[in-house]
Amino acid sequence: MDKDSAIKSLLEEAAETRWEIGQEFHDKLSESIYQNAAHIADRTVIKEGQKENFNIDRTIDSIVTSPIWGFPIMFCVLAVVLWLTIIGSNYPSQFLAFLLLDNAYEWLRAFAIDLGTPWWLSGFLIDGVFLSLAWVISVMLPPMAIFFPLFTILEDLGYLPRIAFNLDALFRKSGAHGKQALTMSMGFGCNAAGVIATRIIDSPRERLIAIITNNFSLCNGRWPTQILLGTIFIGQMVPDSYQSLVSTASVIGVALLGIGLTFASSWALSKTFLKGEVSSFTLELPPYRKPRILQTIYTSLIDRTLIVLWRACVFAAPAGAVIWLVCNITIGDTSIANHLIYLMDNFGLLIGLNGVILLAYVLAIPANEIVIPTILMLTVMTAPITGYGSGDGVMFELDSLGNTHEVLVAGGWTLLTAINVMLFSLIHNPCSTTIYTIYKETNSVRWTTLASIGPVILGFIVCFVVAQIYYML
Amino acid sequence: MQNNTPSACDSCAHNPNTSLKRLGVEVENTDYVIALAGNPNTGKSTVFNSLTGLKQHTGNWPGKTVGRAEGGFMFNDNSYKIIDLPGTYSLMSTSEDEEIARNFILFGKPDVTIIVVDAGRLERNLNLVLQILEITDKAVLCLNLIDEAKRHNISVDERTLSKDLGIPVVATSAIRNVGIQELLKTVDDVAKGKIKCTPHRIKNVPKEIDKKVSKIQASIESLYPGLPNARWIAFRLLDGDEDIIKAIEEGEFINDK
């Protein structure tokens, strides 16, 4: 008998036997394996006294995953992590800005003048490329260096699986996978990291939902925008003593709206483009472990912070160059930037924004953290005010919140503009790093396009509706 | 029962007897290939890091290792490649992780498979161990997280466990580098054939089923003489595992050792 026919007869024999035994084979075999395991464990595992520590784990679990306390505790943990990130990153941010923007920038400019570099070259390299890099580093590095280690410590502690456990029911109702809770939390640090983390989801359908909706997790680059606007516009509506409370609440409100949108859009996707059954999975609640703080800080700095920062820099440098170019290349009498702002102004006003903001978002696709500096720069250029900034196409940030408020109001900003910029900052296309990551992970132009364009359209609709309601009131 | 107190020398980086040289990701043309398998969240990645010197991110949540990671080390003048497989509870169902782990142990034919288990949750972990032992006969059990188990007043009789499973058992606390030297030496011995394993095979299978399994097993063995895991393949065939059926059709089980 030759090999091929032997293989054939073996497979036939197996198929026949399978019919004879029937469905119960798998269960019977699993049962035997469990019996064997129990037998061996019985002979070898020695338990002394009561398992007190296991009970401590169980007690903690019964609180943090309880129907009553689970959500408030999650909310508090989120608030504390954000609060530490916001407060903690303030000082290093100021220091880096002092170092890179005030000192290194001036020094480079002086150096360029000494060398006799033509104005367009030093403008392009120093005012364009260098400034945008300096911005990204000073605004992005400190919060990431605080947020990622905090997040990693929560991971090591074992809290993340509990979050997934709590949110599982909600995700299931939205037609998505419970592990999306984990990738959503990652997204609060960085959407690109969140998209990569979706690899833990096996089912391609549910993984796509997690990838497409990750953008609704407010990322690090967008927190500063929210905090700034929440402080100078929303906070100022109430008496001084409530200001910090109200502005914090407005920022957390936007973040919660993002979570709500994650559920809503997951549900919508699972009812339209990505129909299918919710797959089940086992999630083991691991024991709580004491995190190793120093090692955690080291690995999260190396593995996450620096990699994400590097990618942001790669995308921000050319963006800075483009911003400088559109402000300094003129067609007719005005710069390209002015032409574009004029073109987009009507549409912008219709949805409660303006041309400056829309152009800033287009220019800032590479990195969300340069949105506010770009808006300020473009506003100064076009609004009838003098005495701020240092010339066309130079990104800068104003020293005090009061000045920023003044510039924006001069640029035609109202409370509506602030609210809508906060909303639009939550609901718009992902940054180019994330778009690229989505393409790498899905390998599909179609899904990448949906993930990029979909949120922009939704953002326009939301801003339009809010603007109409605002005008009516 | 062995004394689990870690020896200070064992975990000391200056130990002159240490013949471990970490190679990081330089893993071309190594002498031996090691697979690292185990349940999720038993510290596989920590064991992997302490062997290779790599800093693969570890986290306290199941399913953290996505796909597989590779690294290398030198021990006693031999070079080793080690593959960190995704953590799984079983090798019998259809999730992608289980397939990656199963296929590597089955088709990748590692020289030694290190099975990492949580000493505090041995019974649950044994489910996977017993399945792996049906596939490969060269394995070492890494009884990890012994310090955590001890804190929970659990200890494990390593000698009986080793006798029952038919493979060497090494107690470790990888996070503190305890027992890693012994693990390396044991792996080295198994790879070179100095330690012969006689792995546990699943018992208590109902008689009438067992008889049929044996018949299929005999057919497989006559087709591929010397195949170490004919019984397991018979199990999979009777379970209707499409991948295994396809592998047999394509003649992937030819014993080339």
**Per-residue confidence in pLDDT tens, chain A, 473 aa:** 577 788 888 888 888 888 888 777 888 888 888 889 989 988 888 877 655 555 677 788 888 888 888 889 988 887 788 778 767 777 887 888 888 877 888 888 888 888 888 888 888 888 778 877 887 777 777 877 887 788 778 878 888 888 888 888 888 888 888 888 888 887 887 788 888 888 878 788 889 999 999 999 988 778 777 877 887 788 777 787 777 777 778 888 898 999 999 999 999 998 888 887 777 676 767 778 777 788 778 877 776 678 767 877 877 788 788 888 888 888 887 888 888 888 888 888 888 888 888 988 888 777 777 787 778 777 776 665 544 555 555 555 555 566 677 778 877 888 899 999 999 999 998 888 889 889 988 889 999 999 999 999 999 999 999 999 998 88
Compare CB distances from B220 to A10, A44, A45 and report the shortest one's residue: A10
Best of A36, A52, A292, A293 to substitute, by most chain B Cβ atoms within 10 angstroms, is A36
Give per-residue burial for B127-145: e unless 16+ CB within 10 Å, then b. bbbbbbbbbbbbbbbbbbb
Q: Which of residues 298-317 of A touch B (CB under 8 A)?
A: 299, 302-303
CB contact under 8 A, A44 and B164: yes
Give pTM, 2 decimals: 0.62
CB contact under 8 A, B127 and A37: yes
Taking the C-alpha atoms of residue A380 and residue A390, their distance in angstroms, rounded to an integer, is: 10
CB contact under 8 A, B60 and A286: yes
pLDDT above 50: residue B17: no
Q: Which of residues 132-171 of B touch A (CB under 8 A)?
A: 148, 151-158, 160-161, 164-165
Interface contacts (A, B; CB < 8 Å): 167
Is A284 at the interface with chain B, CB within 8 A?
yes
Residues of B in Cβ contact (< 8 Å) with A38:
123
Is B218 at the interface with chain A, CB within 8 A?
no
State which residue of chain A sits closest to B1, comparing Cα positions: A44
Is A80 at the interface with chain B, CB within 8 A?
no
Query: Which residue type sits at A283?
Result: L
pLDDT above 80: residue B53: no
Question: Tokens in use for A325?
Answer: 């170019």
Residue A385: its pLDDT value, please? 52
Residues of A in Cβ contact (< 8 Å) with B205:
28-29, 32
CB contact under 8 A, B130 and A289: no
Is B237 at the interface with chain A, CB within 8 A?
yes
Compare CB distances from A13 to B89, B216, B249 and report the shortest one's residue: B216
Q: How many CA atoms lie within 13 A of A379 on its CB side?
A: 26
Strand partners of residue B69: B84
State which residue of chain B sits closest to A39, comparing Cα positions: B123
From start to end of B53-111, where are the E strands? 69-75, 78-84
- Specify the pairing of strand A334-335 against strand B69-75: unpaired
Percent of chain B's residues with pLDDT above 70:
82
Q: Which of A87, A472, A458, A464 is nearest to A257 (CA)?
A: A458
What is the phi-psi region of residue B76: left when phi exceeds 0, alpha when psi lies from -120 to 50, beta otherwise? left
Taking the C-alpha atoms of residue A77 and residue A73, their distance in angstroms, rounded to an integer, is: 6
Dihedral sign (CA A155, A158, A162, A164) = positive
ipTM for the whole predicted complex goes beyond 0.95? no
Residue A49: its pLDDT value, please? 63
Question: Tokens in use for A403?
Answer: 């000045």
Alpha-carbon torsion, ordered B131, B133, B139, B145, to 10 deg: 40
Crossing angle, helix A204-213 and helix A445-472, to 10 degrees?
40
Residue B240 is classified by DSSP as T
CB contact under 8 A, B126 and A30: no
Alpha-carbon torsion, ordered A145, A151, A156, A158, to 10 deg: 170
Query: Which residue type sits at A418?
Result: A
- Specify the pairing of strand B112-118 against strand B139-144: parallel
Taking the C-alpha atoms of residue B248 and residue B242, their distance in angstroms, rounded to an integer, is: 10
Q: Provide the CA B44 distance to its chain's centre, in angstroms.
A: 10
Question: Tokens in use for B6?
Answer: 């870690």
Give the gyration radius of chain B's Cα atoms: 18
pLDDT above 90: residue B167: yes
Crossing angle, helix A445-472 and helix A415-426, to 10 degrees?
160
* C-alpha distance from A207 to closest chain B C-alpha (Å): 13
Question: Tokens in use for B119?
Answer: 């000493």
